[in-house]
Amino acid sequence: MEKLTYAQAIDMAIEGKVDEAVVEKLKALKVQLAKKGSGKKGLTKTQKEGLVLIDRIIEMLADAEEGMTATEIGAELGVTCQRASALLAKLTPEKGDGRVRKDKVGKQIRFFLA
């Protein structure tokens, strides 16, 4: 007899054709599914670093009366302008929680504590 697959074992169990081989295969499937985990494990390393950087951005903006640009924030944090912009987007009302507001000052977009 050929090797019994999980799909074949399930089909046979649905049809009521349960024998010892089907039971063993379904038990093995149950073990496999248990190994996969049951859901969310928590924040990734990058997400945890992002939370720390967001706290630092809030502190920096609290001290900056004229606001700061994403480039200035990125340079201060030691990250790229793109990373700083992504973190700032999480703080603006349009995409985030609204702790930071952005205003156009001349030709620059400057960020201020809300």
The CATH label, of 3.40.50.10300, 1.10.540.10, 3.20.20.70, 1.10.10.10, for the domain at 45-113 is 1.10.10.10
Query: Domain-by-domain residue ranges, the chain?
Result: 6-35, 45-113
Beta-carbon count within 10 A of 61 CB: 22
> Model confidence over 2-24: pLDDT tens digits?
788 888 888 888 998 888 888 99
Q: What is this structure's pTM?
A: 0.63
Maximal CA-CA distance, the chain: 78
Beta bridge partners of 101: 112
Strand stretches in 22-95, DSSP E: none
pLDDT at residue number 31: 86
> Model confidence over 36-65: pLDDT tens digits?
766 667 888 999 999 999 999 999 999 988
| Token representation of residue 93 | 């009302």
> Model confidence over 79-95: pLDDT tens digits?
999 999 999 999 998 88
| Token representation of residue 15 | 């049809």
Output the CA torsion 15→16→20→24 (10° steps).
Answer: 60
